[in-house]
Amino acid sequence: MDIKPLVSVIITTKNNASTLGFLLKSTKKQTYKNIEILVVDNFSTDQTIEIAKKYTSKVFQKGPERSAQRNFGAKKAKGKYLFILDSDMVLEKDVVAGCVEKCEKENSKDIIVGGLIVPERSFGKGFWAKAKILEREINRDREYFEAARFFPKRIFQAIGGYDENLTGPEDWDLPFRIKKNYQIGRVENYILHNEGRLTLLGLAKRKYYYGFSVHKYLTKQNISVFSPVTIYFLRPAFYYNWKKIFAHPEITLGMIIMLAVETIGGGLGYLVGRFKGGK
């Protein structure tokens, strides 16, 4: 009898009532059925908890930030594999099946897969969502843009999980550490990322917040502050994919404005975080 390994889907939330239900529905509709769902909430004040409890009994509260929530969920998880998700995502129906198949197949060849990248496609409302969709499209397959989300639990634990001193860069820090000893693979299935209705101010605020701990990440991984990791316009994809860029001149202009605003917001956050020592 073929026993399929348990996959622990760990979802972190904070006031995500507007998006969480869509992710939970798509998780329940996976073709791969041996799944447990854990929701680790950061003390929401909206209906997030109530929505989560409609789909799983494994609902916890933990703070202060996403990295700590994820690590807490991993400790509570019983699965062989961990799938780390944000609440504004929706899964294609075969995503989990594709991830398990990839890991099991590669490991049978004595190739140890330490993590899997699941590519994302964005969707949303309004002009700035279209700009974000274009940005993701032209940066697809780029290491600086996509981070692994699916991990064998034993490797996740051996590496020490997410760095709880980082918020934002932790997505890239963990795979960076994993690939020093293991392979990072990739599947063909997609996560759909709900950008919602974006605003320039909202994007700038988000990058400003994430920028607080960027200097810690850059120092830890010995990455220059002037690199494709931090400066969007240094990313080769912008020049390799010129056909896609020139095909949508209006959206391209919007994307350039959006990235400039995000760069300013992230840069200010970086300076404040550096000045205050990240505290």
The Cα–Cα gap between 254 and 54 comes to: 39
SS (H, E, C) 100-117: HHHHHHHHCCCCCEEEEE
Is pLDDT above 90 for 139? no
pLDDT of residue 21: 97
**255-263: average pLDDT:** 95
Is pLDDT above 70 for 40? yes
**272-277: average pLDDT:** 85
The Cα–Cα gap between 171 and 191 comes to: 15
Confidence class for position 278, pLDDT limits 50, 70, 90: very low
Is pLDDT above 80 for 127? yes
The Cα–Cα gap between 92 and 140 comes to: 17
Is pLDDT above 90 for 79? yes
pLDDT of residue 248: 87
CATH topology of domain 7-276: Spore Coat Polysaccharide Biosynthesis Protein SpsA; Chain A (3.90.550)
Is pLDDT above 70 for 173? yes
Which among 254, 274, 276, 255 has a CA at the least distance from the CA of 266?
A: 274
Which alpha helices (H) appear in the chain, and where do they start and end? 17-28, 48-53, 66-76, 95-107, 127-138, 153-159, 170-178, 200-211, 214-220, 237-240, 242-247, 249-276
* Residue 161 vs residues 20, 147, 164, 173, 214: alpha-carbon distances, Å: 24, 14, 9, 10, 18
Domain residue ranges of the chain, discontinuous segments joined by +: 7-276
pLDDT of residue 238: 77
Provide the angle, in degrees to the nearest 10, between the axes of the packed helices 249-276 and 127-138: 80
pLDDT of residue 2: 65
Hey, is 195 helix, strand or coil? strand
**Mean pLDDT of all residues in the chain?**
92
Which pair of structure tokens corresponds to residue 205?
């605020």
Give 67's contacts (C-beta < 8 A, 6+ positions apart). Answer: 161, 162, 163, 164, 165, 166, 167, 170
**221-234: average pLDDT:** 83
For residue 194, the cross-strand partners are: 123
Is the pLDDT higher at 77 or at 215? Answer: 77
pLDDT of residue 243: 82
Burial of 78 (0-12, 13-18, 19+ CB in 10 A): exposed
Residue 88, CA atoms < 13 Å, CB-side half-sphere: 14
Beta-sheet pairing, 191-197 with 89-91: antiparallel
Confidence class for position 279, pLDDT limits 50, 70, 90: very low
Give 202's contacts (C-beta < 8 A, 6+ positions apart). Answer: none
The pTM of this model reads 0.92
Which among 24, 75, 18, 14 has a CA at the least distance from the CA of 52?
A: 24
For residue 36, the cross-strand partners are: 8
Which among 33, 26, 28, 31 has a CA at the least distance from the CA of 7?
A: 33
Instruction: Report the share of the chain in percent with pLDDT over 70.
Output: 97
Check if the beta carbon of residue 259 is closer than 8 Å to that of residue 200: no
Other C-beta atoms closer than 10 Å to the C-beta of 183 total 14
**92-99: average pLDDT:** 97
